[in-house]
Amino acid sequence: MGALDSLLCDGVDDYVALDGGDLNTNIDAYSMLVVMKRGSDSTFDGVCYGGASGAGAKVGFGIEPSSDNILCDTADVGQCATAGAGSKSNTITSLVANGWCVLGYTKPAGATAIPRMHKYNYGTTTWSHEAGSELMNNVAANLDTFYAGAWMDSIGNPGDFFIGNLGLAAFWLSNLGSDGAVESTVSNLLSMNSWIAAGPDELIRFNTMSAISATVGNMQELTRNGTTLDVGDMPAGWTEGADVPGPATIIDFSNFPRFLRSGRKIKYA
């Protein structure tokens, strides 16, 4: 386990299953952001999906194969208000060439609401935001199982496995708000401390082959199939502990008056 490590998923059958932790509740508004790097284009990659046992995915997203757009929900799960639909971005894509990115979406409160898709590219240091294509329902069932690196089918099994690296996943039981609010939620996207300070309800760091426990929240690993620890592969400049301070200011005391250099107190009349 290391500060710069991530989990590599092979796209064949690799995934990590966790319990629902503090997400195991009825959910209305919510937000999720994932630090990830894609390993293959034009494949359906289930990035992170959570749901109820035997009932299929209720929250989460993947990458749609024909357009490489962010896709929330899928046809046979039915969390979208329109049966058989998936709410996806129209122009925001996830490609191998992008390298490390933050991807995710926010859902406003309400029985049905249009989600908002979000992407931050670490290489270009730019954000992109876009409304989803379909209304999504709120979550009427608790989330007791969560797959990292896989989609969840209509009866709760993993499939459509992710190809690439997972670094971190963060979840809020609220809508983070406007695009500007999403951008400012994590003050430094290269700092684990800043992700913690952003106040997620669950924060998972994928940097170990041992059983994963949430850094924030109560998610615990249930089981795992495959995955490889990719040593030294996180976004360039990533810090796990204290944020890196700026350059130190060096003061030359040689030209200061002698009484200041001596440390003697000065008495004023």
Q: Rounded to an integer, what distance in angstroms lies between the CA atom of residue 104 and that of residue 210?
A: 26
pTM: 0.85
Return phi, psi of residue 260, to 5°. -75, -40
The CATH code of domain 6-262 reads 2.60.120.200
Which residue type does 81 have?
A
224 vs 2, 15, 33, 51, 157, CA distance in Å? 19, 6, 21, 17, 13
What is the distance between the terminal CA atoms of the chain, rounded to a whole angstrom?
63
pLDDT, one tens digit for every residue, the chain (269 residues): 567 999 999 999 999 999 999 888 778 888 999 999 999 998 888 898 888 777 766 778 888 777 888 777 644 444 555 544 567 788 898 999 999 999 999 999 887 888 899 999 999 999 999 998 888 877 766 788 899 999 888 788 888 999 999 999 999 999 999 999 999 999 999 999 999 999 999 999 999 999 999 999 999 999 999 999 999 999 999 999 754 443 333 444 444 444 334 443 333 33
Burial class of 206 by CB neighbour count within 10 A (0 to 12, 13 to 18, 19+): buried
